[in-house]
Amino acid sequence: MAQSSPDYTHDIDEELARLRGGSRGDVLRPEDEGYDEVRQVWNGMIDRRPAVIARPTGTADVVAAVEFARATGLDVAVHGGGHNVAGNATTDGGLMIDLSGMNGVHVDPENRRVRAEGGATLGDVDHETQLFGLATALGAVSETGIAGLTLNGGYGHLSREYGLAADNLTSVEIVTADGEVRVASEDRNGDLFWAVRGGGGNFGVVTSFEYELHEVGPEVYAFFPWFDANDAGAVLDAFREWADDAPRNAGVLPFAGHVPALDPFPEDSWGAPCLAMLGSYRGDLDEASDVFAPLRAAATPIVDLSGPMPFEDLQRMLDEDYPDGMRYYWKSVFLSELTDEVVDVVLRYNESAPSALSTIDLWQLGGAVADVPRDATAFRHRDKPFMVNFEANWEDPADDEANVNWAREGFAEIEELQVASGRYGNFPGLGEDPARLIYGENYDRLVDVKTKYDPGNLFHLNQNVVPRADED
């Protein structure tokens, strides 16, 4: 049920006038035109009504918004791409800082650097960097915002070769809770730079990210076969063996799901449980078939959509599967080993999924991510070779309970296994688990940084690290 518009005090009206006077971007209240469209986020389960939406056009506007939040005491939500499944990009009765208008991207091909504003998406960055045959390690859905993805680590197609999105950061510009604009890098505010590489949105509003670039594309090989569920066990056995010594410039994401009712899938397979593999290879395209041959040999695919394609198309391949406004509940846990028990839970819960749009994903990790020491950045769970993610995706609000319960029950079975530990900040359910599960043994150091830069916990609508002053 939609909530009524919040009441405004005289003091907030005064501060609103100051915010509007100090901003070039729009400042919206619930009665303003465009408010209802702007307040929406990607996950249709999330229906919140901020008291104020600030839409900065640049860093100065972000500073004005942070000062407004500090003066009024309103909760602060930061909207980059708006794709965090927990809905952290918005808030009831607080301030939404909507960075979507700040999406500029500048490429420096000579120094192999790209600087992107905080509202940019993966697609924005890829489009500019691919002009020069370059890319940085980001995610696997082009409409995802770079901000949340990077601040929580950031796995994607290039991770095994070049590391997390956070590992490719060379600097950030960030507005901290005191309204100061800071640059954080290895050489400047190093403690803050350590924290933003995996510590989420706890430390301020990042207005721009600078990343290292690598030679990628323009064409890569996409690996995308689909197998009948009866062959899933044999295919996953082959995958486990293949993953042990897979080349770093190749990676595969197996997922259990259901065959879509679309061409080119055979009509008699539509709606049936299945196992698909989405992967890529960035080496010599003539070698790609040999690289993936052990996986194809395990069983005959229902259909094989593999082949060379532009890197940008690989990054866009899943966009249509995750439209704005559909309903989502995603939750993940890391695995020290992909055991028979894990495979059994995955295949069994895929059979019982209440929505044919849902999947259970088995992320292949390791490689360059594991090369970095676990205390070198805030992102902790680098040593784990796999991650399982329950993706409940559905359309009808009447089915909310059934789909959330399905994901939680399957997740609970995995969580009980000895090989399971930790959490991934980009797939946090609805944020119900303690932040320590995400940050592990890096949590106490994050508390130190939080206490220094945000002692009043202004930025707490996230997987929150609580400053010491607020700990009870």
Residue 461 lies in a domain: no
Residues 192 and 227 in one domain: no
Same domain, 223 and 212: no
Residue 308: what are its φ and ψ, rounded to 5°? -65, 145
pLDDT band for position 13 (cuts 50, 70, 90): confident
Separation of alpha carbons 231 and 386, rounded Å: 21
pTM of the model as a whole: 0.94
Average pLDDT over residues 361-367: 96
pLDDT at residue 469, as a whole number: 75
pLDDT of amino acid 302: 97
Q: What is the DSSP string of 340-362?
A: HHHHHHHHHHHHT-S-TT-EEEE
Confidence of residue 472 (pLDDT cuts 50, 70, 90): very low
CB within 8 Å of 277: residues ≥ 6 apart: 223, 224, 225, 227, 235, 239, 252, 253, 254, 255, 295
Residue 42: closest CA among 79, 3, 94? 79
Q: SS3 breakdown of the chain: % helix, strand, coil, rounded to 5?
A: 35, 25, 45
- Number of other CB atoms surrounding residue 87 within 10 Å: 20
pLDDT of residue 12: 84
d(CA 261, CA 346): 22
Amino acid (1-letter code) at residue 107: V
Q: What is the dihedral of CA 461, 437, 100, 314, to 10 degrees?
A: -160
Rounded CA gap, 259 and 268, in Å? 10
Contacts of 418 (CB under 8 A, 6+ apart): none
Question: Is there a contact between 437 and 466 (Cβ–Cβ < 8 Å)?
Answer: no
* Interval 22-75: pLDDT, tens: 999 999 999 999 999 999 999 999 999 999 999 999 999 999 999 999 999 999
Q: Are residues 224 and 251 in the same domain?
A: yes
Residues 440, 422: contact at Cβ < 8 Å?
A: yes
Q: Are 393 and 358 in contact (CB under 8 A)?
A: yes
User: What pLDDT digit, counting tens, does each position of 395-448 carry?
Assistant: 999 999 999 999 999 999 999 999 999 999 999 999 999 999 999 999 999 999
Q: How many CB atoms lie within 10 A of CB 432?
A: 9
Are residues 257 and 377 part of one domain? yes
Task: Look at residue 1 and tell me whether its pLDDT is greater than 80.
Answer: no
Q: Which two tokens stand for residue 460?
A: 């707490």
pLDDT, position 104: 98
∠ CA(123), CA(166), CA(326), 5° rounding?
45
Residue 406 domain-assigned (yes or no): yes
Nearest to 66 by CA among 30, 99, 92, 115: 99
CA of residue 330 relative to chain centroid, distance:
11
Run of H or E including 119: none
Report if residue 131 sits inside a domain: yes
Q: What is the pLDDT of residues 155-206, one digit of tens each?
A: 999 999 999 999 999 999 999 999 999 999 999 999 999 999 999 999 999 9
**pLDDT given at position 6:** 41
- Domain identity same for 266 and 409: yes
Residue (of 294, 302, 313, 148) closest to 218 by Cα position: 313
The reported pLDDT for the residue numbered 471 is 46
Which residues lie closer than 8 Å to 166 by C-beta, 6 or more apart?
150, 151, 152, 153, 154, 196, 197, 198, 377, 379
> pLDDT for 295-332, tens place per residue?
999 999 999 999 999 999 999 999 999 999 999 999 99
Longest alpha-carbon distance in the chain? 71
Which amino acid belongs to residue 129?
Answer: T
Alpha helices in 104-231 (DSSP H): 122-129, 146-151, 159-162, 190-196
- Mean pLDDT over the full length of the chain: 95
Domain that holds residue 199: 105-216+441-454
CATH number of residue 77's parent domain = 3.30.43.10
Report, as an integer, the average pLDDT of 369-376.
Answer: 97
- The predicted pLDDT at position 10 comes to 45
How long is the chain?
472
Answer yes or no: is 79 within a domain. Answer: yes
237 and 209 in one domain? Answer: no
Q: How confident is the model at residue 4 (pLDDT cuts 50, 70, 90)?
A: very low
Q: How many CB atoms lie within 10 A of CB 136?
A: 31
Name the pLDDT band for 227 (thresholds 50, 70, 90). Answer: very high
Question: Helices 59-72 and 10-21 meet at what angle, rounded to 10?
Answer: 170
Run of H or E residues at 395: none
Q: Are residues 112 and 66 in the same domain?
A: no
Asked if residue 170 belongs to a domain, the reply is yes
Burial class (CB in 10 A: 0-12, 13-18, 19+), 284: exposed
Residue 330 is predicted with a pLDDT of 98
368 lies in the same domain as 445: no
Q: Which is it for the CA torsion 9, 12, 18, 20, positive or negative?
A: negative
Question: What is the identity of the amino acid at 294?
Answer: P
Pair (271, 292) in one structural domain: yes
Q: Is residue 90 part of a domain?
A: yes
Tell me: do 235 and 361 sit in the same domain: yes
pLDDT given at position 8? 42
Do 374 and 291 lie in one domain? The reply is yes
Question: What is the mean predicted confidence (pLDDT) over 2-13?
Answer: 51
Residue 367 lies in a domain: yes
| Token code pair at residue 316 | 């866009």
In a domain, 339, yes or no: yes
3-class DSSP assignment, residue 17: helix
**How many domains are contained in the chain?**
3
Q: Which of 77, 98, 119 is the last residue of a domain?
A: 98
At 229, which helix (H) or strand (E)?
none
66 and 123 assigned to the same domain = no
Give the residues across from 205 on adjacent strands.
Answer: 175
**Could you tell me the pLDDT band of residue 135, with boundaries at 50, 70 and 90?**
very high
